[in-house]
Structure 1
Amino acid sequence: LEFWIYSEAIFLFIVIIIFYYRGSYLSFYMTKIELKNFYILGEKKSRKVEKDFLARHPFVRKFSFNKIVSIREYREDGTLLCETPYNFGRINGEVKVYSIYGKLRRSSMYKEDELDGYSKHIAGNNLLLEQYFKRAKLHGITKEYDAVTGKLIKKINYKYNKIDGVMEIYDPERGTIIEKTLYKNGIKEGLSKFYYRTGQLKSETPYKNNIIYGTVKVYYKSGILLSETQYIDGIKDGLFKSYYQTGQLKSETSYKKGLLNGVEKIYYKSGVLFSETHYNNDKKHGTTKYFDPDGKLQYET
């Protein structure tokens, strides 16, 4: 047995030398790094190989001048799983992954063993994901698509693996935008906007260093302002105001460091004061006054 193995090794070595000087490449299949699993299949042109043979030998390597130039990997049923190109011993070029039906599922560009360039993921006939990499880090616009409708559902700008710029999220059915948020170096910085499915603005939230800072505004579907709330360092601090759909002021409440402090006023749709309540550190302080539609005091509690 040992004599047979060594004889086969010598024969393989001679064939490699012959192909080396002819400028051709060798193509063979292997499952383990053992001599008995090496099979010479041909010269420059690839040959059709039976599926049952591929199932036993799932890897194909093409050698050029004793260097790997590509690797093909097969599933147990013999269908092609992926193709990986090499240059000087490193992954360089387009790596492709296939479905069991032979359709391309993923395509990614590599440079010196690292993701570098365009990458896409596919499901059926629909594109799922588009990404750009630079030195194995997300860099550029990433787009995600709905698997059913094929419509764009997310668009993000990356800079060396961190979100930098605008992140947009879309309705998978209508394709209308539902969120738009500004980022800088991976954190929220600026306005974050949400939208109704109709495309009408729903809310605006300002961020400073990833923390809500400023006035948060919420809108009715009609576009009329529904409420506005003052924030400092992520905590309610200042006036909260709500409005009727007519635009008329509905209520106003004062906050200090997240707690109710001051006077809370509620109004009729006509604009006439309905009630007035005083708060101190989130607790009622004093009496609450109630008024009739004409503005006359009705009672106190």
Structure 2
Amino acid sequence: MNLFGAKLSDVKGIEKLKNYNEIKDIQVEKIVNHDITKSVSKKVFSAEDNKFNGVLVKNENNDIVEISFYKDGISDGVSYTYYLNGDLKSVSTYRKGSIEGPQVLYRPNGNLESEQVFENNSLVSEKYYDKNGKITKEYHFNKLRNGILKKYYKDTEKMSSTSTVMVNREKVDGVEKMSFVLDGETKVFRKDGTLMAILQYKDGSLQDLTQKFYYPNGKIQYYVVVAGDEIKDFKVKDRIITYYENGKVNQDCNQQNDGSWVCKNYDKDGKFLDEEIRAAEPISNGDTRFWEDILNPVLEVLAN
């Protein structure tokens, strides 16, 4: 099929597409049909047609699976892909052959799978959705490969954590893969939206950085300096402050060179009570289960 000055509504079978009403009146210079089930060649256009301007329609067993706009022989404009039943599979935007701007992916049930944004042919933000269309994760980052990663509780769309991250990119078998390294502040939230913890990372490590844990009422509960790279290897050092539920300091402890702790104690109104020396880490007194009870809920959230 070769049409000049045509409307997309002229394409056979286009009325079955879910977005038919949106695209039916679009006028183009030329429409070229390419049946991928009948062609063994990967070439879409012949050499003399390398200045093609118009729309390429791809079919699979007479069902439209793609509609893409071209300028001067390369992708330029919107590209739609479809499931065989006519439902949208993706909507992408191209500029001079490279993906640029928004790209939306859909699941077979019609719900969103992800929303992506590309700049200079590189992914700079993405939102993921579960099969019911509820958001599960999103990230945004800049040209320096620093960004924000947000995660959500399943089926609730309530945020479970937000993290400052560095983005690492590498190509595996020609496909770009991304990974995130925690670098900066991570906030962890309970399912009811209250703040559970604020963690500080440097290049993926907690070592020598201050960490804060919170009561359900939003008041700080513990302020500690961590010895250990990962939260599962959590140990405290240098300083520990515990707080009453009203936000007043309960105990302020500093570690000495010999490993002992000097602690100042206060009442619930903030009045100084006394000072004591403790041989063991003063909050848990060496009981590892104490910190496990504090950390396990945080680990559970971050693992999802």
TM-score computed with the length of structure 2 as normaliser: 0.58
Aligned to 2:12: 48
Displacement of 1:162 in angstroms is 2.6
- Answer whether contact 1:96 1:107 (CA < 8 A) is retained: yes
Residues 83-116 of structure 1, C-alpha deviations (whole Å, 9 max, x = no match): 3332222222222211121111111111222111
Residues 236-267 of structure 1, C-alpha deviations (whole Å, 9 max, x = no match): 4312345575768787776689xx921498x9
Structure 2 counterpart SS, 1:142: strand
Aligned to 2:220: 225
Aligned to 1:90: 74
1:262 to 252, 260, 266: 260
1:110 to 94, 105, 119: 94
- Answer whether contact 2:139 2:150 (CA < 8 A) is retained: yes
2:113 to 124, 128, 131: 128
TM-score computed with the length of structure 1 as normaliser: 0.59
CA distance in 2, matches of 1:196, 1:134: 34
Any residues of structure 2 matched to 1:9-20 within 5 Å, and which?
none
Any residues of structure 2 matched to 1:1-301 within 5 Å, and which?
27=1, 43-44=3-4, 46=10, 48=12, 56-57=37-38, 66-67=49-50, 68-69=52-53, 70-75=55-60, 77-123=61-107, 124-139=109-124, 141-148=125-132, 150-160=133-143, 162-164=145-147, 166-183=148-165, 188-212=182-206, 214-231=209-226, 234=229, 236-242=236-242, 261-263=259-261, 278=279
Alignment coverage as a number of residue pairs: 229
Highest Rg: 1 or 2? 1
Q: 1:58 to 1:201 in 2, by over 3 A?
A: farther
- Percent identity of equivalent pairs: 16
RMSD, aligned α-carbons: 4.3
Unaligned runs of 5+ in 2: 14-33, 169-180, 230-234, 286-304
Unaligned runs of 5+ in 1: 1-26, 28-41, 285-301
CA distance in 2, matches of 1:119, 1:256: 56
Structure 1 counterpart SS, 2:193: coil
Displacement of 1:170 in angstroms is 2.5
Q: 1:73 to 1:55 in 2, by over 3 A?
A: closer
